Structure 1
Amino acid sequence: MTRLKHYIEYLFVRFLYWLLGTFPEWMMRAVARFLAFIMRFVIHYRSTVIDVNLELAFPEKSKAERKQIKNKFYYHIALFFLEFIRGPKVTDQYLEERIIIEDDTALKKYIGKPVLLVSGHIGEFNLWLMLMVKYLGTHLNVIFKDQRNPYTSQMNVDFRYACGQKPIFSKGAIKKCIELLEAKEYIGFLNDQNPWDRGINVNFFGHEAPTMKGLAIFKEQFDYPILQGYVVRDEQKGMYRFWINELEIEKSDDQETYYKNILQASNDHLEAAVKRFPDQYLWSHRRWRIEYHELEKL
């Protein structure tokens, strides 16, 4: 019975991906506005989490300003989902025509050399992954969480391959990443996941934020340069913007201090990007070390 249920779910998801993938851009934006309205005013998708996060990040802003960011965020996340589905159809020509390159000096400097590539849950991070594939001229390994439904899980694996990405399953990911880095393969990290008690606490918008320590482990072991960048949407121009920089890490003989320096540098870089494009960060993400579940009950 479970297998049949999974297969029906898979057929529905596959049909949905096909249908939405046929929409022209103007229709995608119209659908995104509709979905944003549903999430914001009908189902109130993670409304409390978003409110709490925005107040933590921007206490200096008025309630009206934070409300405006919240409303724009719902539109952003809806449009991101629709654009994500189009991933396999995105060509190099599309990337060249639609992305404004603000700064790619660091990336060009290290082409053909081993690096650690980092982004965060801001803007069009799936486009960022595809842009990295274009620059590098080879596939990019990405950490991938397996799903309970084997059919949709395999569909997502195939989807990643079609986008030039090679999935690394989250179970045993650190060991696999070390093997890949030893072979000088490229890995793309989204380093603002909240691992709770399995991470290292560093500052993000003035508050303690548990941060995955994999990046710090890999930096210490291989000492590859860390390049961190983003692709964000420029609504006024109907384009995207891309920039990437090499992180400057303060050295330390103490491992714990060095790990914190690495992760703090990454968080600081992301924070600067979020301040620039506040409506395009994943505010529905439980980022900080607070009891979100208790707050959602209020």
Structure 2
Amino acid sequence: MSEQTALDDPHAQPARKLGDYLTNALIVGIIRLALALPYTARVRFVGWIVERVIGPIAGYRRRALRNLAMIWPELSATRRAEIASKCLNNVGRTFIENYSAKDFPARMEKVTPTGPGSEALQKAVDEGRPVILVTGHFGNYEATRAALVAKGYDIGGLYRDMKNPYFNAHYVKTMEAFGGPVFPQGRKGTAGFVRHLKGGGQLVLLFDQHVQYAPILDFLGEPARTAVSAAELAIRYDALLIPFYGIRQDDGLSFECVLEAPVPHSDPLTMTQALNDSLAARVRAAPEQWFWVHRRWRADQP
């Protein structure tokens, strides 16, 4: 590594490395404490600690409130605060569910996905046609993949490396625990999931985070840079493009898994806008379940 590269690499700086190490140590401590609890208590505990402690300290609550005020200024401050609190609770629950490598998949084995996309998925598998399943950070985005893997589907996933390398090492293992291959973003990972897709496999992609230089499309009435890669891959490999959602139920522990009708092939922008519209409808129906903590709308947009 050159001197200049070392200076540019935040993980090469001792202070940053120490901070990453300590942050990961705290996270691992919470995970280990939670995993020692019975499943129901575990999920409720981490939901509470993210809602009441981690979310406010880390600035996630403030960011959620800012996003909510931009999208729905007509809502009362009380209602926006309620949505932000429940959002953080859902984030915490999702986090520890995805670390419950045995308990969570076992619960999802009992769930049968519904919706018009379910039949379309099975038909495509029978015909050897690839399928791209697309969702956002809503409910628990791993719930439906876990349910489908339990039914025998070989569903791969694409993930974005976390900035904290210590955390990333065990974060990746949580996705591998649900079955089906997982691939990191980047040249190597892309090659792997393309091979999986070309072989008639199924892939899960999340598309609802800001991507620099991506096209600007409408999301919840505001311009948002949105990756069109899922639609591009669907067109290139003649894959079905199916929006899906793992919707948390009122008990806070169970899920309804819904596969919507496939998005018709046209062009990447039109298809991706359809995905945005699908997710926006889900967010409007259950705003507490979407991750308002992300920086979805950025100031670099005109």
TM, length-normalised to structure 1? 0.81
2:299 paired residue number = 290
1:186 paired residue number = 202
| DSSP-derived class of the 2:200 partner | coil
Using a 3 Å threshold, how does the CA distance of structure 1 residues 30 and 160 change in structure 2: closer, same or farther? Answer: closer
The answer to whether the 8 A contact 2:61-2:88 is kept is no
1:72 paired residue number = 86
Letter of the 2:52 partner, please give it: F
| CA deviations over 1:235-293 (Å, ceiling 9, x no partner) | 24852111111233363xxxxxx21101101111111111121101010111123369x
The correspondence of residues 1-298 of structure 1 with structure 2, limited to 5 A, is 16-28=30-42, 29-39=44-54, 41=56, 43=57, 45-92=59-106, 94-97=107-110, 99=111, 101-103=113-115, 104-112=118-126, 113-135=129-151, 137-147=152-162, 152-172=167-187, 173-197=189-213, 199-236=214-251, 238-249=253-264, 251=266, 258-290=267-299
- TM superposition shift of 1:36: 1.3
Using a 3 Å threshold, how does the CA distance of structure 1 residues 215 and 72 change in structure 2: closer, same or farther? Answer: same
**Distance (whole Å) between structure 2 residues aligned to residue 181 and residue 13 of structure 1:** 34
**Distance (whole Å) between structure 1 residues aligned to residue 253 and residue 204 of structure 2:** 26
**Distance (whole Å) between structure 2 residues aligned to residue 276 and residue 250 of structure 1:** 26
| DSSP-derived class of the 1:202 partner | strand
Measured on the aligned residues, the alpha-carbon RMSD in Å equals 3.0
- TM superposition shift of 1:13: 5.5
Using the TM superposition, name which of 44-53 and 225-234 deviates more.
44-53
- TM superposition shift of 1:27: 2.1
Letter of the 1:95 partner, please give it: M
| DSSP-derived class of the 1:208 partner | strand
- TM superposition shift of 1:196: 2.1
**Distance (whole Å) between structure 2 residues aligned to residue 259 and residue 179 of structure 1:** 21
TM, length-normalised to structure 2? 0.80
The answer to whether the 8 A contact 1:127-1:231 is kept is yes
**Distance (whole Å) between structure 2 residues aligned to residue 150 and residue 35 of structure 1:** 21
2:9 paired residue number = none
**Distance (whole Å) between structure 2 residues aligned to residue 272 and residue 102 of structure 1:** 18
| DSSP-derived class of the 1:81 partner | helix
Gaps of 5+ in 2: 1-11
Gaps of 5+ in 1: 252-257, 293-298
Aligned-residue identity in percent: 22
- TM superposition shift of 1:205: 0.8
- TM superposition shift of 1:162: 2.1
- TM superposition shift of 1:59: 3.3
